[in-house]
Amino acid sequence: MDTALLTENAVALLPEIVLSAGVMVLMIVDILRREQNGASSLAGLSIAILLLGIGASLFIWSRPPTEYMEGAVSDGFALSVRLVVLIAGVLGVLLSRNYLPAIERQGGAFYSLQLLAVIGMMLMGTATNLIVLFIALEIFSLALYILSGFYRESPRSIEAAMKYFLLGAFASTFFVYGAALLYGAGGSAHYARIHEALSAGAGNPSLVLPGIALLLVGFGFKVSLVPFHMWTPDVYQGAPTPVTAFMSVGTKAAAFAGFFRLMMTALPSYQSQWALPLAILAVLTMTVGNLTALRQSSVKRMLAYSSVAHAGYILIALVAGSASASSAALFYLFTYAFMNVGAFAVIIAFEKRGGNENDVEQSELAGIADSSPALAAAMAVFMLSLSGIPPLAGFFGKFMVFKAAVEAGWAWLVVVGVLNSAVSAYYYLRIVVAMYFQQAEEDGEAQKPGALPAARSPQFVVAVAAIAVVVIGLQPGLWVDLMRGLGQ
């Protein structure tokens, strides 16, 4: 193969390249420093690598879109996806920093896997080719399966990893099958070529719809659309909380980005056929997610079902299927990154650890507004933002998505969305009620925050996320522009 072809336009993948090199450095450093127990320095190194990745993304920010070997493109959309994923990665690493020593695990493998997951997620946003898309999907999925089971002393964590892996592998096979059918339909794995072939009347159009349906199973599993969401509560609850925080945002951003690009560049001519089924899935996902979340007593499970519901809101943007809708979805995920990771960070500060526990019950949050006012206030901000109360970031995420959907003529879907959003306020509010309006039970043991040694990191992440949620809410225009849609 011609080496010139290999390096031409390779700058399009600069952030991924930087991170890949970083992972190797990280693993080497891990081996060299194993004797010295340098877990926290590994966290620092990981953050440095991620920041380099952000720097690389910003470096190629203003370049014209370039495609690398018909496999990955670096356009505005891809850059925005990278930004969301990298932010989730940084926050995730920061949360893990004190968590790993608390569950007595070594950091090297953990951080390498987390960075690998970030690479896979970023690739999802750039992929313009079914093969690259599948590889990207597997890179981050495999990393996340292992990460979910990283808390080895907790049977629940092992169960989560097992469940996630088996079901995930099953979903991946659907995905591959769908990709194969699409390849058969369009005669190419490259999106633009598929589109060309199909709109020219060539290829085999009868394979398109079965292909979409099978791909939908794979994507639906990753972003937890109903009815492919069954794994979500168990995995979210069992996985180490920093992993949950990271994957709840990163997976969604990556899978939605990949899905968006596939549907809108390879299959736009079939939009009239895939939009309505997706709309129905969105209704199901929002409704089932919210109604089930109402009944949860564990905060992590509640947030798991809430994340199902949020997948439904974001799916509305895909139904709308316009350039502004894709940027709205990214903006939604951008706000979601801060509010959701922030919420999990607060859980880390309060969860019990050891034995079978790495979770917190809603009743255990009673009265924490008195014992730790700052954490409670931040949690209140996250909860209100997740339920979409202005002027917090979450409101504008929903607002942009709903606006794009109304513009595309999906007003009835938006009605379902806002009603769901009103329902969701109830369970988010319950956390606020517990924290502020109820008294702590005086058993003196459950309420102590900071079972962590020098729990500075969760507090730091909580503060950053809370400030971001408020600032984005007050000045949304700036950040909306940062999230660029497909073809923008």
Partner 1 sequence: MLSVLTFLPLVGAVVVLLAPSDSLKRWLAFGATIATFVVSLLLLPGWQEIPDMQFVERYEWMPGSNIHYHLGVDGISLWLVLLTTLLMPIAVAFSNQHVKQNLGGFLALMLMMETAVLGVFLALDLVLFYVFWEFSLIPMAFLIGKWGSENRVYAAIKFFLYTLAGSALMLVAILALYFHGGTFDLLALQEAGLPPGLQQLAFLAFALAFAIKVPLFPFHTWLPDAHVEAPTAGSVILAGVLLKLGTYGFLRFALPLFPVAVSNYASLISVLAIVGILYGALVALAQRDLKSLVAYSSVAHMGFIVLGIFALNEQGISGAVLQMVNHGLSTGALFLMVGMLYERRHTRLMEDYGGLWASVPVFCFFFLVVAMSSAGLPGLNGFVGEFAILLGTYKSSPVFAVLGTSGVILAAWYLLHAFRQVAQGKLTNPANFKDKLPDLNWGEIGQLLPLVLLFFAIGLAPNFLLDKINPSVAALEVVQTPMVVEERYADHSSLPTFTSVNNPQTTVD
User: Which parts of this chain interact with partner 1 (CB under 8 A)?
Assistant: 384, 389-391, 395-396, 399-400, 402-403, 406-407, 411, 414-415, 418-419, 421-422, 425-426, 429, 433, 436-438, 476-477, 480-481
Q: How far is the CB of 66 from partner 1 (least distance, A)?
A: 25
The burial of 37, by beta-carbon neighbours within 10 Å (0-12 exposed, 13-18 middle, 19 or more buried), is given as: exposed
Residue 224 — left, alpha, or beta (φ > 0 → left; ψ -120 to 50 → alpha)?
left
- Give the number of C-alpha atoms closer than 13 A to the C-alpha of residue 402, restricted to the C-beta side: 19
Amino acid at 271: Q
Q: Residue 179 or 366: which CB sits closer to partner 1?
A: 366
**229: nearest Cα among 252, 263, 211, 262:** 252
Instruction: Pick the closer one to partner 1 by CB: 11 or 429.
Output: 429
In the complex, what is the shortest distance from the CB of residue 440 to partner 1, in angstroms, rounded to a whole number? 15
Write down the least CB distance from residue 480 to partner 1, Å: 6
Q: Which is nearer to partner 1, 256 or 436 (CB)?
A: 436
* Token pair listed for 428: 């988010």
Q: Which is nearer to partner 1, 162 or 416 (CB)?
A: 416
Of 48 and 374, the one with the shorter C-beta distance to partner 1 is: 374
∠ CA 474-477-482, nearest 5°, is 120
**Closest separation in Å from C-beta 442 to partner 1:** 18
Q: How far is the CB of 142 from partner 1 (least distance, A)?
A: 38
Is the Cβ of residue 101 or residue 390 nearer to partner 1 in the bound state? 390
Shortest gap between Cβ of 264 and partner 1 (angstroms)? 19
Tell me the backbone φ, ψ of residue 16, rounded to 5 degrees: -65, -40
CA–CA distance, 317 with 379 (Å, rounded to integer): 27
Exposed/middle/buried for residue 134 (C-beta within 10 Å: 0-12, 13-18, 19+) = buried
Which helix (H) or strand (E) segment is 108 a member of? helix 108-126
How near is the Cβ of 76 to partner 1 at its closest, in Å? 13
How far apart CA 129 and CA 190 sit, in angstroms, is 4
Distance CA 188, CA 126 (A): 18
- Whether residue 133 contacts residue 81, with contact meaning beta carbons closer than 8 Å, is answered with no
Q: Least distance (Å) from partner 1 to the CB of residue 285?
A: 18
Is 358 or 372 the residue whose CB approaches partner 1 more closely?
A: 372
Question: What is the C-alpha radius of gyration for the chain, rounded to an integer number of angstroms?
Answer: 21
Angle between helical axes of 208-223 and 299-320 (0-180°, round to 10): 150
Closest CB to partner 1 among residues 227, 373: 373
